[in-house]
Structure 1
Amino acid sequence: MSKLRIGLGVDFHQLVEGREFWLGGILIPHDRGALGHSDADVLLHAICDAMLGAAALGDIGTHFPDTDMAFKDIDSKILLQKTMALIEAKGYQVVNIDATLCLQAPKIKPYVPEMQAIIAQFTKLTTGEVSIKATTTEKLGFVGREEGVVAYANVLLEKV
């Protein structure tokens, strides 16, 4: 068995009025927020899915289903913490994270260092081991029309 395992996670959420916009563990000022059972933090959800996939532990919906009221409006940092415990219980540690956000607005560059710090703290990494990039879709599709947000994450795990 290989000591290194890679996982890919992706998450999509609709943007709606009347919701807070949580991204990468922080509240970002915006006129809309992501709709979901939890706080709908697409970045943390994609990272959790990538971690779970790399360890062959299924997906975020398996461990934290949206049918369970225990996860209603939950802070996704708690889901990341619980995912990290699952990864560690299987004998893995995170080596690095590379994530991409797709959103037309708001611009998130000013928030990236804080997101990196939060994610690094919960995954026992340094901020230099957490990459967060963002792109627009040049006004194409549901992201371009500002109807939703998407996050992709790649996570490398190592057996310890």
Structure 2
Amino acid sequence: MTSSSSGLPRVGVGTDVHAFAAEGSDRPMRVAGLDWPGERGLEGHSDADVVAHACCDALFSAAGIGDVGTQFGTSQPQWAGAAGVVLLAEAARLVRAAGFEIGNVAVQLVGNRPRLGARRAEAETALSAACGAPVSLSATTSDGLGLTGRGEGVAAIATALVVPRP
């Protein structure tokens, strides 16, 4: 259902996971709209920004217009190597074109690295600018459990609130 006629706010959830690139890869790490020099990059069709991708999925879910694979799939070469903030800006545009305003997005990075704390405000600014709405960011580890705990990759989980335009 993509109709915005109910007038009620809608909530969506998005999740994304990417493995670290092979040792020795020159792929840069981009997470939460920022480059992380000295960190091993993540594998993916675009820049593998798990935080931005989870935000996109949450927005698409809230608006009922598919998901990252539907909108920016690997079969679409124009998105190869695309920056996560570019995808997030396009996701926000598509959500607004579907008749919604974005209330906010909350996203949590799950992994041992990068260490987000010192750059949280910078990341929130980059994500909020791309989205055109407030984005709050938190981070956690998984206490050594699963692929994030073993240091094989990182994940992100996001929730978005959208409101139908009258």
Same fold per superposition (TM over 0.5): yes
Identity of aligned residues (%): 34
Alpha-carbon distance in 2 for matches of 1:113, 1:97:
15
Alpha-carbon distance in 1 for matches of 2:127, 2:118:
16
Which residue of 1 is the match for residue 136 of structure 2? 131
CA RMSD of aligned residues (A): 1.2
Alpha-carbon distance in 2 for matches of 1:151, 1:99:
7
Which residue of 1 is the match for residue 130 of structure 2? 122
Partner residue of 1:101 out of 106, 109, 118:
109
What is the DSSP-based 3-state SS (H/G/I as helix, E as strand, rest coil) of the residue aligned with 2:15? strand
Q: Deviations over 1:35-79 (max 9, x none)?
A: 001000000000000000100001011011112221111112111
Partner residue of 2:146 out of 129, 141, 146:
141
Partner residue of 2:74 out of 66, 69, 74:
66
Partner residue of 1:9 out of 9, 14, 21:
14
Which residue of 1 is the match for residue 57 of structure 2? 49
Which residue of 1 is the match for residue 30 of structure 2? 22
Alpha-carbon distance in 1 for matches of 2:39, 2:49:
16
Alpha-carbon distance in 2 for matches of 1:42, 1:105:
12
Which residue of 1 is the match for residue 3 of structure 2? none
Alpha-carbon distance in 1 for matches of 2:8, 2:143:
39
What is the DSSP-based 3-state SS (H/G/I as helix, E as strand, rest coil) of the residue aligned with 1:33? coil
Partner residue of 1:156 out of 152, 155, 161:
161
Q: What amino acid maps onto 1:13 in structure 2?
A: H
Alpha-carbon distance in 2 for matches of 1:123, 1:41:
14
Structure 1 position 124, deviation (Å): 2.0
Structure 1 position 30, deviation (Å): 3.7
Which residue of 1 is the match for residue 91 of structure 2? 83
Structure 1 position 31, deviation (Å): 3.4
Structure 2 unaligned blocks of 5 or more: 1-5
Q: Deviations over 1:67-108 (max 9, x none)?
A: 222111111211111111111111111111111110112311
Q: Structure 1 length as normaliser, TM-score? A: 0.93
Alpha-carbon distance in 2 for matches of 1:42, 1:31:
15
Partner residue of 1:111 out of 116, 119, 134:
119
Matched, 1:37 2:45: yes
Alpha-carbon distance in 2 for matches of 1:106, 1:88:
32
Aligned length in residues: 157
More strand by share: 1
Aligned CA distance change for structure 1 residues 108 and 96 (closer, same or farther; 3 Å):
same
What is the DSSP-based 3-state SS (H/G/I as helix, E as strand, rest coil) of the residue aligned with 2:20? strand
